[in-house]
Chain A
Amino acid sequence: MSKVAEIFETLEYGPAPEAAGPALEWLEKYGKKFGHFIDGEFSKPAKTFASTNPASGEKLADISEGSKADVDKAIKAARAAFAGWSALSGFERAKYLYAIARQIQKESRLFAVLETLDNGKPIRETRDIDIPLVARHFYHHAGWAQHIEKSFPDHAPYGVCGQIIPWNFPLLMLSWKIAPALAAGNTVVLKPAEFTSLTALLFAEICGRIGLPKGVVNIVTGAGETGEAIVTHPGIDKIAFTGSTEVGKIIRRATAGSGKGLSLELGGKSPFIVFDDADLDSAVEGLVDAIWFNQGQVCCAGSRLLVQESIEEKFIAKIKARMATLRVGDPLDKSIDIGALVAPVQVERVLDLLKAGRKEGGEFYSPDMPVPEQGYFVRPTLVTGISPAHTLASEEIFGPVLVAMSFRTPEEAVALANNTRYGLAASVWTENVNLALDIAPQLKAGVVWINSTNQFDAAVGFGGYRESGFGREGGREGMRAYLKPDWEKALKAVPPKAASAKAGTTRNDKMSIDRTAKLYIGGKQARPDSGYARPVIGTDGQMLGEVGEGNRKDIRNAVEAARGALDWGKATAHLRSQILYYLGENLDYRKAEFADRIRAMTGASANAAKREVDLSVERLFAFGGWADKFDGAVHNPPARMMAVAMVEPIGVLAIAAPDESPLLGAVSLLAPAMAMGNTVVLVPSEPHPLAMTDFYQVLETSDVPAGVVNIVTGPKRDLARTLAEHDGIEGIWFAGSLEDSTMVEAASAGNVKQSWTTRGLGFDWTAREMEGPHLLDRATQIKNVWVPYGA
């Protein structure tokens, strides 16, 4: 029987290999040895280590491990290039980005094959997804380069950006980092992951080929130590990192107080929610794209299936049937769905987790399919019969392993979905648009895909909530991460004021009746847990009054109250706006009293004190006005979908108000936080807290719901530390010294809080900038909800 006749019976797919030749020839061109790309040139290879093909375990090339000196050289080159690059017109920069996009398209197959060889992911993915998205990213950002001046007036690039990217989407992550940085006028030093540096080196070659000015893009290869050298280098103005949450936290601590911009795109354990009225077969196919895309090595992989109990059995059966038709094997084969994991260490991690998981129970299913003996392959696995307490339900596995749980009601689905320290992405499957759009805003995730999954586009921001990081990549929101307001760049450090006059104990005669301010927690004035009060001393050295000495437990109570009031974020923007106006109205009514108080505390002139109160009223009005206007956008990805960029509150915000401007400083921070729907725990000016304790009565008369604003007086530094370390706080703003700011930023790493600190810089609280979108950006995070449509 002829071979054709045999195949006629079996109808097997047979092999369909993509040729590796051109990529291997390219490696050969460099003698299979690579240095770094610094100042427009490849350095001589040194301290090399092997980059291997995960599908075979064979060495592809030797690449260099970047030393401190290499990093220093690269940063110097980037610094030298910055002035010229940032001074180019937007159009000039656009032309370079456009040229890069064109080159990537021209070399698309070489890039795809090289990526597959180096990473182990199927050629279908590199060819159809990674590389086209890379080209799209550069095209999109060529446009931003030209439009920045109009879209982001009075903003400037950071300077030199240090960028550290992971191995799961090597070139795609490079493009997400480099395109917006360059568009904004920054220069970059990028370190690819040690497992997957080759496409970055080919990219470097292209930068040279198109004549990109030397030093604008520098690529330094290496592992963790090289990354550390970049992160801690004083010549870096901004760090952008994509990788594990663990390393993200290290970077947060390492950059604390440095003033370096920081965006982190970290891990995830994203829920994939299937309701009983979903198109179930399509949802199963969605799961294939969610967890068996790139071998499950995707930070936003839909790795946690939540399926409605009524359809659970049927749905699980469908998944198993579908898993059996997945093809695992040589990633260069065009008919392969699942390739190799990136490295033995990754295989080990996945298998270890599975082993640990087995001990905790659950049913494990893997289809009986052929898997190559060589190379780092792992069978797709489904784990059922587990609960959130199971290790596999909470740990990010970063492999082709899906865990499944059931829910009974939409409410329970949301609760289970949010029962995680991560918050990167979520998928929601239902044919009911009302249900879908009810669930999406309730999910704590930066990206929500309705009836779809793993959709990416340069025009749509991507990034996480919670421990999945902060900052966005892509679209308008992504550009913001590479630009800084001019006025903020111009801020200068001010020397800390000498400690105020020693504590007096004599009462000020003017105070007729004893008034000891309590704390303000949950809408009530509460006695401090400590049972102590601290004196407030006026400029004349006399005691103006006493305030509660807040401590850890008061912070705990305040955060409880603030968490309990999070429905504030669901209140209509109109209502929040009205309440801010009402606050302004009631403060204005008592402005003389507040001005007197400020004078007594700070020694400000009558005019200055009056101006501070007037500005505070104005600020409350300003943010009352913003509340229903600082809203989202609808992005247009190149597919029949809309991506709705919703502006959502951060959650519970901790605010440590500046010592100076005791009323205006606090109000300037409180008002934007409230306007955007956050609830707040505020620590007022330590030396001058009475302006804010007086404010209790303004809050009480202005219909502010209980728990939305909580105020704890006391030792600012200690209270701020407790707040920064509190996992129930999602963001922290700290106005104070560089030293304390550093402490706060480092302590905020625990749950990857978004932090904003003044670092001892001379912020002018009376400035117009303080009533604009600057703080609104910091009071919000953008969630992109992808909504495909079509009957």
Chain B
Amino acid sequence: MSLKIVDTRPQAPAHRRNPGFPLDLDWIGRVRMNRSALERRAATIGTRRTVKKDYQLAWLLKAITLMDLTTLNSDDTSGRVERLCAKARNPLRADLVEAMGVERLGIKPAAVCVYHNFVATAVKALEGTGIPVAAVSTAFPHGLTPLKIRLAEIEASVEDGAQEIDIVIERRLVLNGEWEELYDQVRAMREACGEAHIKTILGTGELATLTNVARASLVCMLAGADFIKTSTGKEKTNATLPTSLAMVRMIRWFFEETGIEIGYKPAGGISKAKDALSYMALMKEELGRKWLEPHLFRFGASSLLTDIERQIEHGVTGHYAADYRFAMA
């Protein structure tokens, strides 16, 4: 694999990284999210838009390139991480790639996402692929250690070669409306990341209301987040379409006010190809085609890839596929 292939990805050249902005409590006070209305909209995303045949195949291929292939388990080992990286190198069976005539696209996941302790392993395993390694640093999944230690963790991950850092926020700061403290922490983390991109995990399933989710999204964006991300995958409720709508609409508002494009990453529970297509339709409907690129949209997922492969095989061959016939991650 040559780096050239990575270069052909339509990275928007004009993309400006979020420089961060002063905390604007008045703005945060104006944020309102109506759960029922968001749920109604979310319920019709998948029923108002659908893609069939070649369109479905193309969208599913795109989904692969938007994926942060992830393993975040307490029993992870180097061997497990290496296997994941191997899958990242070859996400799709060659015969399917060939049948669709998409060799040139060089379909690869957007990143591989691991705990800090496996960053070095992953970087090594992905050498030459151009696939970045993302690390969940900052006391994932709870974020409840001294800030100093969390910042040190970020620095260590960056030092080990992580190009993306998924941080978690302290949920209590949202529940208690301690926006200054949240802002300061994320700001500090952003600085600790340096050149590495920062994704802020809100733990939306523990933020009680969608207005809280939206306000936390805004504070993180003002503090310099490159991405806002729903969940660690460890909360009772992970990514949902209504939550996504609340966050994506804050991204839109932020863009309208600042001209800065922020990325969105739903994570946890997205395991079916159909779900992935619904999320993509949501992005396209609410933010436009532009937001369907890896620098602005990611899925945090582990088992999603296999389901996408199965659907692709069905699309290509016309018969249904079994998961054991695809290389496991």
Contacts and interface: CB of A to CB of B under 8 A. Distances in A.
A, B co-complexed: yes
B271 to A, nearest CB: 22
Given A12-B55, A279-B32, A641-B36, A337 B48 contact: yes
A500 interface: no
A9 B52 contact: no
Contacts of A12: 55
Interface in B40-68: 40-41, 44, 47-55, 57-59, 61-62
A285 B245 CA distance: 12
B37 interface: yes
B10 interface: yes
A344 interface: no
Interface string B183-218: 000000000000000000000000011110000000
A72 B37 CA distance: 49
Interface stretch (A58-66, A392-400, A783-791): A783-791
A153 interface: no
B35 interface: yes
A370 to B, nearest CB: 16
B54 A7 contact: yes
Nearest to A17: B52
Contacts, number: 110
Contacts of A13: 49-51, 55
A470 to B, nearest CB: 30
A415 B29 CA distance: 30
Contacts of A788: 34, 36-37
Contacts of A431: 32, 34
A15 interface: yes
Interface string A282-302: 110110010000000000000
Contacts of B211: 791
A122 to B, nearest CB: 9
B52 A8 contact: no
Interface residues of A, number: 40
B93 interface: no
A451 B33 CA distance: 11
A282 B40 CA distance: 9
A249 interface: no
A689 to B, nearest CB: 56
Nearest to A276: B30
A768 to B, nearest CB: 45
Contacts of A283: 37
Contacts of A124: 44, 47-48
Contacts of A6: 58
A281 B102 contact: no
A166 to B, nearest CB: 25
Interface string A329-346: 000001101000000000
A499 interface: no
B39 A8 contact: no
B156 interface: no
B292 interface: yes
Interface in B272-288: 280, 284-285
B50 A4 contact: no
B172 interface: no
Contacts of A278: 32, 34
A282 B52 contact: no
Interface string A256-284: 00000000000000000000011101110
A9 B10 contact: yes
B48 A452 contact: no
B51 A790 contact: no
B255 to A, nearest CB: 12
A11 interface: yes
Contacts of B51: 13-14, 16, 335
Contact of A16 (B37, B44, B50): B50
B36 A4 contact: no
B34 A279 contact: yes
A11 B62 contact: yes
Contacts of A607: none
Contacts of A334: 50
B249 interface: yes
Nearest to B250: A281
Nearest to A5: B102
B101 A16 contact: no
Contacts of A277: 32
A11 B47 contact: no
B327 interface: no
Contact of A640 (B36, B100, B208, B285): B36
A3 interface: yes
B33 A279 contact: yes
Contacts of A289: 40
B149 interface: no
Contacts of B49: 13, 335
Contacts of A9: 10
A225 interface: no
A325 interface: yes
Interface of B: 10, 32-41, 44, 47-55, 57-59, 61-62, 100-102, 104-105, 208-211, 249, 252, 280, 284-285, 289, 292
Interface of A: 1-16, 124, 128, 277-279, 281-283, 285-286, 289, 325, 334-335, 337, 431, 451-452, 640-641, 788-791
**4 nearest A-B residue pairs (beta carbon):** A2-B101, A14-B55, A282-B37, A788-B36
25 contacts: A2-B100, A3-B54, A4-B58, A4-B101, A5-B102, A5-B105, A7-B57, A8-B62, A11-B58, A11-B62, A11-B292, A12-B55, A13-B50, A13-B51, A14-B52, A14-B53, A14-B54, A14-B55, A279-B38, A282-B34, A285-B40, A335-B48, A431-B32, A788-B37, A791-B210
